[in-house]
Structure formats: structure tokens, C-alpha cells
Amino acid sequence: MSAQPGRDGADRRFSALPGRPGKIVAVHLNYVSRADQRGRRPAAPSYFLKPSSSVAPSGGTVERPAGTELLAFEGEIALVVGTTARRVALARAWDHVGWVTAANDFGLYDLRAADKGSNVRSKGGDGFTPIGPGLVDARTVDPGALRLRTWVNGELRQDDTTAGLLFPLARLVADLSQHLTLEPGDVILAGTPAGSSVVVPGDVVEIEVDAPDAPGAPTSGRLVTTVTQGDHPFDDGLGALPGVDDTQRAEAWGSPDAAGLEPAPAPFRLTTELHDKLVRAPVAGLSAQLRRRGLDAVTVDGVRPLHPDAKLVGTARTLRLVPGREDLFARHGGGYNAQKRAFDTLDEGDVLVIDARGDAGSGTFGDILALRAHARGAAGIVTDGGVRDHDAVAAVGIPVYSAGDHPAVLGRRHVPWEVDVAVGCGGTTVEPGDVVVGDADGVVVIPPALVEEVVDAALAQEEEDGWIAEQVAAGHPVEGLFPMDAGWRARYDAWRTGR
């Protein structure tokens, strides 16, 4: 198929394309590097539409509207549909792509909150979708071996390949064709990798898509856009006005540090000394000390250990499961779902706490995921649901507390929903970062702000209880000794001083 750029005559906005596209469909999140930067990996692609009026040619300008500050570039690969695609199979989807080229999916984060994900205003402005300058014949390249690079004022800011996509290019075509007819000239924007950030008036953004390993190393050439300052403010009597906060600033710039913000507090981590103290402190003693401080609902009830002799000490990561429903499981249960993400992102010393609502009617994980947790250095797993593959999980050796065993897979009762949120497990609330301690008596959850005070008090009480036990074993009655009256207290204090 041959391209016919500029057939729209004098309207040079579409000079790099066969004509004015009927629709432009963009993917929200598609590169592993970008997903990891954002801290979430979707299980399936999601999309938004951009108007064709936002298309601009190479060598043009993009205006940052008056009263805004967060105009961000996003270098992307653009797929230009060559032949009509409707409900095409994945194996044939690439056949319907005519060309690939470079695109810039500019976004105005100042208007992001007003759009609630539709991106109509935040990404639909005039000039917000530069495309070009040249088209690469899709038949001459491997869709899994395309390279995308972005420069700002000559400095390389993005450099990634389609090998790093969450959802391959052909999958986007096949998926979209299930829902709408892709027509010749339509454009699909395939997502941006890590490195997207804010640009200001005077900045020059250049984007290139090429296939360096293909014969002749075909390239789109560099798509060049200069940022200018607009002087027309938004009319406050018509609609939502621009507004930003530190969350939008961090996402627009790429990180809190790049945005000049104070870094987020580091997650709570146990020191080696504190960890060792918790290993020595019994759960019963920790529970007693928490109760003295007004915290009684801190035990994970109804769970028992697979390894009663193993001590569990770590900080909580969480996974929330919602009640099983077939349509929800079809959307959230497959692919790289929340359950897999939770296990795949555990760090050394983490305890994965799974909220299964006390429903042990299926497994909430099995031996493969237990192995993954162990390989990641996790301290243990606590679930108020069931465990599948009991013997194999036990053989892994990682401390596990569960409400029982069950042979069925997770989908029988549960839908994996979200990670690292406050959850309910065994009748208590667990927040990410809480300290989790387990032994043969059960599991207790300790707020990080109290952990040092509580463990020191528990160890002191343990020492005291040990001395009392020695006195009872020696034949003394418990009256006045447990708890100690003034006389016994004096004897105990003297014993401690004389040690």
C-alpha cells in the first residue's frame, strides 16, 4: 500500500498522513518502564480518544495556555491504519496497519482532574498531537523491534523499544477492532515510556521512531515541535478552570524530585535491632502491651501457621480480594492481575497480608506464588482465606498463616482487586507499613509509631514473667507473686540490680 501524504490539500496539519484521520485512539499506559514509574501495571489496555483537530505537523508549535504550568510531552509510536479492521484475529491484526510514524501526545495536567480520565480538555487542544514527519511502511518492520526516542533541547529524554510494551502493537489493533471499526487513516497512539516530563515555552521537543535492525534502518525522521506561551486565559464562566496540586506536579514531571517537591516519607522499615527484638518477643506479650495502650483489635483471628515453630516478623504489604463474580473475574482475574502484581513486587522483609474476607472456600495462593515470595526475600504471608497446594507451600519454608487449606483456585470465591491499600484480615485492619508479628499463638499487627515502645515493654514483661515462673516452680504460691505485691516487687528489683 502506498501513502498519499497531504491529500487534504492546503491543510498542512495532516501533511504527514494519508489524510485527516477519522479518529485517533490513544492508550493510557503501555510501557513497562512507565507503568513501573507510576506504580501500577494494568491487566488490559485502556484507551481514550483525541480529536483530529489536535493534529499538527513537524516543525510547528504547541501553545501552553495562559494560566497553566504543566504541559508535558509524551513521545509515542503512531500506527496508521491501512485497511479496514473489524473483529480481526490477533494473528492478522498487523496486516491492517499501513504505516508507523512518530507522535507527541501532549497533555495539560492542569486540566487533568476536570476530565476524570476522558482527557478531552487535557489532551485534546489544538496542536496537542504532532505527527510525522515521515511514514514507515509497516510491512518492512518487525512491530516488536521498533525504537522510540525523544529529545528536549537536544537532550535525550526517552529511549525505549516495543520489546518493553505491556501490550504489543498488534494486540492493540485486534482489541480495538472488537469494539469499533478501524478505518483507513485512523491513528492509534501506542503509549509513552518513562521519561515524559514538563516542557516550558521556548523548549524544542524532537521525537523519532525507527527500526534500527531492519534493512535500511527505516525511520520516521525527527518530529519537531516548539513550545510557545499562550496569552488567552480560560473563561471562568464557561467550564472547569486549570488547577494543580503536588500529585499532578509529580506525575507531570515524572517524580516528586523532578518537580522540586519534598520527597515522600520513606516507608517504615524495621532496623536490624528492632527486628531482633521482635523475634524474641512473644505475640502474646506484644498483644498484652498493645491492649494496655488501648489497642485491642490488633490480632488477625482465625488463622493458623503452617510452620508453628517459625517466627514471622516484617512490615505489611496488602492484597485485597473482593467476592467472586464471573464478569468481574473476566475483567480483573486474568493477565497480570493484582494478585500476581502483589507477589511480584514484594521486597525483603515484607509480609503480604491478603484480605479474603474470612472466606476459605478457595485458595488465595499456591506453591508458585509462595516460591515467588520466598525468592523476593519476603518475610511471610498472612491470609484469612485458604491455601492451595498445602504440602508444596509448606515445603517452600516461608512462614504462612491461613484460615485453612482448599484445593480450588482463587477464582472460585475471589476476584483479585487492588494492592497496597488498607485491608481487613481476620477481623483487624492492616495498613501497608504496619508491623506484623506471628508465632504459634497467632498474628498481631503493630502500628509503626508504637512498635519500639511496645516491643521493649513486652521484653521487659517477658523477663519479669520468667522470674515469676522460676519462683512458682520453686514452690512459692501465686498469691502476691502474680501479679507481684510490694514485697515481691522489691525482691525482683533487687534480683535485677544484682545480676
pLDDT at 8: 44
The SS3 assignment for 3 reads: coil
Low-confidence ranges of the chain (pLDDT < 50): 1-10
pLDDT of residue 372: 94
Q: Are 104 and 73 in contact (CB under 8 A)?
A: yes
Q: Could you give the CA distance from residue 72 to residue 305 in angstroms, rounded to a whole number? A: 50
> For the segment 285-302, what is each residue's pLDDT rounded down to a tens digit?
999 999 999 999 999 999
Q: Which of 3.40.720.10, 1.20.1250.20, 3.50.30.40, 3.30.365.10 would CATH assign to domain 272-452?
A: 3.50.30.40
- Residue numbers in the known binding site are 366-369, 388-389
Domain with CATH 3.90.850.10 in the chain: 12-253
Mark the binding-site residues for substrate, compressed into ranges: 366-369, 388
Annotated binding site for Mg(2+): 389
Cα–Cα dist 305/390, whole Å: 12
How much is the pLDDT for 264? Answer: 63
- Tell me whether the omega of the peptide bond preceding residue 133 falls within 30 degrees of 0, making it cis: yes
Contact 52, 21 (CB under 8 A): yes
CATH fold of 12-253: Fumarylacetoacetate hydrolase; domain 2 (3.90.850)
Angle (CA) 445-446-450 rounded to 5° is: 175
Give the three-class secondary structure for 121. Answer: helix
Beta bridge partners of 227: 62
Q: pLDDT tens-digit profile of 209-234? A: 999 999 999 999 999 999 999 998 88
What pLDDT, on a 0 to 100 scale, did the predictor assign at position 193?
Answer: 95
Q: Are 412 and 388 in contact (CB under 8 A)?
A: no
Residues of the chain with CATH 3.50.30.40: 272-452
pLDDT at res. 379:
96
Spatial distance between the Cα atoms of 354 and 300, rounded to a whole number of angstroms: 11
**Residue type (1 letter), 181:** T
Among left, alpha and beta (phi > 0; psi -120 to 50; other), residue 385 is beta
pLDDT given at position 241: 80
